Structure 1
Amino acid sequence: MSNSPNLAVPGVPQGPWSLFLDIDGTLLEHAAHPDAVVVSDELRTLLARLEAQLDGALAFITGRSIAAVDHLFQPLRLRAAGLYGLEHRLARDGPVEAAGEPADIAALADEIATELDNADVYIERKGPILAIHTRAAPHLLQRATQLVEQALDRLPAGYRVLAGNAGVELMPLEAAKGAAIRRFLQIPAFMGRRPVFLGDDTSDENGFETVNEWDGISVRIKPQGSTAALFGLAGVDAALAWLDEMSRREAAQAAKLAATSK
């Protein structure tokens, strides 16, 4: 695991490749509230173009629900793993394998909302995952983390706490981006392709490790501290510029192949 924030910029993937994308902090700048982000038409166009160029081998790997992702990127309904892999859409425009909210997690969400009682803290209820966003109230991150850690003792076995850059989440153990990526790699659209994964946060590290195991390209956006990622990009703008460059290279290669086949 690298401790350097000065990771090399990723090169051009050689041969067929697939693309896995975190959303917040990777494709979109973080906002104080998850609903405050805006997707540009340019980003929609870029994603649709890449998805076509990769013959469908593109998927979101995100902590958001797939319903939230669809709302953001409408009318696009790309392949996606939501809630860290507790939800899946394995085909573009296909059905979603969804996850419901257990009663004990619902009760805990109400309890934490009462305990923190701060308008700048956003408690996001994502089925079996409970996320507490403290970006607008950083002084409450430690207290929020304590509350979810204490809750582990009285919840059923099988939950873990994941601390992020500006919040904390409680989730089932099986919620892991690496497992979600592995599932996609086993379906026809992705098989035989070198995986590329872009992410920016603690929750993406498991995905980086999985992609490294598959001899892929793991890219941490705005790397800070230790990371399993082998490459880095300075921020969201750099990530979008790199993706645009990859799309342009794919287009040029396709044009070259078309010319030589005439």
Structure 2
Amino acid sequence: MSTLSNLTEPNVPQDAWCLFLDIDGTLLEHAAHPDAVVVGDELRTLLAGLELQLDGALAFITGRSIAAVDHLFQPLRLRAAGLYGLEHRLTRDGPVEAAGEPADIAALAEEIEAELGSADVYIERKGPILAIHTRAAPQLLQRATQLVEQALGRLPVGYRVLAGNAGVELMPLEAAKGAAIRRFLDLPAFAARRPVFLGDDTSDENGFEAVNEMDGISIRIKPSGPTAARHVLAGVGEALAWLAAVSQRNLDGSTGLVHPLNGRSR
């Protein structure tokens, strides 16, 4: 695992590459409620431009459902892996492979809502994934974590608990961003390209590990501790500036590796 002291700002590859993007905390600042975030036209334009420049080799890799992603970024309907890879849209504007909510997860969600549901805690039901957001009530994170950990003993085998920066999630073991990235890399649009992945949370670590194994570029946004990522950007603003500089480099047709934050060729 990398520590903060040995993380560096990222370059972009000279050869063919593809781009995978987390959303919350990476492209958008976190909000107390997931529905409170807003996507501006500038970000939509940037993403549409990058997707065109990369010949379609761009995909969201997110814990949100694809329906929620489409609502945020409309009218864009880019390639995406939602629910940590339990949902996929493998082609732009294509059909979505969706995931439903099992009865036992629905029952658990209702139990937790009865105890913690309030204006300050948001229980998000995402098919087979149950997310408890405590950003507005950090004092309840420990109790939320206890509730989902206790539930593991009565759920079918194959679930895990994932703690995040401001909440906790219960999800199937197969929900993993690394697996979602690998699935895209098997597609013609992504094949033979070097993967670049930007993320900000513990749920992104599995994706960083997968990208590192493929000699890709792993970038953690605003890390607070050890990470598998090999590069760092200080926050959402810096991530957007980096992506904008990469896009401009593509438009300019410059050659060689570029350090987008300061514009120097290397």
Answer yes or no: same fold by TM over 0.5.
yes
Equivalent position of 1:153 in the other structure: 153
When the two chains are superposed, the root-mean-square deviation of aligned CA atoms in Å is 1.1
How much has 1:108 moved relative to structure 2? 0.2
Alignment of 1:1-262 (within 5 A): 1-4=1-4, 7-253=7-253
How much has 1:251 moved relative to structure 2? 0.9
Equivalent position of 2:261 in the other structure: none
Cα pair 1:5 1:223 within 8 Å, conserved: no
Equivalent position of 2:259 in the other structure: none
How much has 1:84 moved relative to structure 2? 0.1
- For residues 129 and 6 of structure 1, the distance between their equivalents in structure 2, rounded to whole angstroms, comes to 34
- The 1:233/1:161 distance shift into structure 2, 3 A limit, reads same
- The 1:248/1:117 distance shift into structure 2, 3 A limit, reads closer
How much has 1:117 moved relative to structure 2? 3.9
How much has 1:252 moved relative to structure 2? 1.2
- The 1:42/1:117 distance shift into structure 2, 3 A limit, reads closer
How much has 1:246 moved relative to structure 2? 0.5
Aligned length: 255
- For residues 58 and 5 of structure 1, the distance between their equivalents in structure 2, rounded to whole angstroms, comes to 30
How much has 1:55 moved relative to structure 2? 0.1
Identity of aligned residues (%): 82
How much has 1:12 moved relative to structure 2? 2.2
The aligned amino acid for 1:57 is A
Cα pair 2:117 2:123 within 8 Å, conserved: no
SS of residue matched to 2:223: coil
The aligned amino acid for 2:43 is L
Structure 1 window deviating more from structure 2 (106-115 vs 7-16): it is 7-16
Q: Deviations over 1:100-133 (max 9, x none)?
A: 0000000000000112243210000000000000
SS of residue matched to 1:204: helix
Q: Deviations over 1:47-87 (max 9, x none)?
A: 00000000000000000000000000000000000000000
Cα pair 1:18 1:194 within 8 Å, conserved: yes
Q: Deviations over 1:82-104 (max 9, x none)?
A: 00000000000000000000000
Cα pair 1:145 1:163 within 8 Å, conserved: yes
- Mind listing any 5+ residue stretches in structure 1 that lack a counterpart? 256-262
- For residues 214 and 63 of structure 1, the distance between their equivalents in structure 2, rounded to whole angstroms, comes to 22
- For residues 254 and 137 of structure 1, the distance between their equivalents in structure 2, rounded to whole angstroms, comes to 48
- The 1:106/1:191 distance shift into structure 2, 3 A limit, reads same
The aligned amino acid for 1:150 is Q
Q: Deviations over 1:28-57 (max 9, x none)?
A: 000000000000000000000000000000
- Mind listing any 5+ residue stretches in structure 2 that lack a counterpart? 256-266
TM-score normalised by the chain length of structure 1: 0.96
- For residues 32 and 6 of structure 1, the distance between their equivalents in structure 2, rounded to whole angstroms, comes to 31
TM-score normalised by the chain length of structure 2: 0.94
Cα pair 1:5 1:225 within 8 Å, conserved: no
The aligned amino acid for 1:180 is A
Misfit runs of 4+, over 3 Å: none
- For residues 192 and 60 of structure 2, the distance between their equivalents in structure 1, rounded to whole angstroms, comes to 19
- For residues 119 and 253 of structure 1, the distance between their equivalents in structure 2, rounded to whole angstroms, comes to 50
Cα pair 2:21 2:197 within 8 Å, conserved: yes
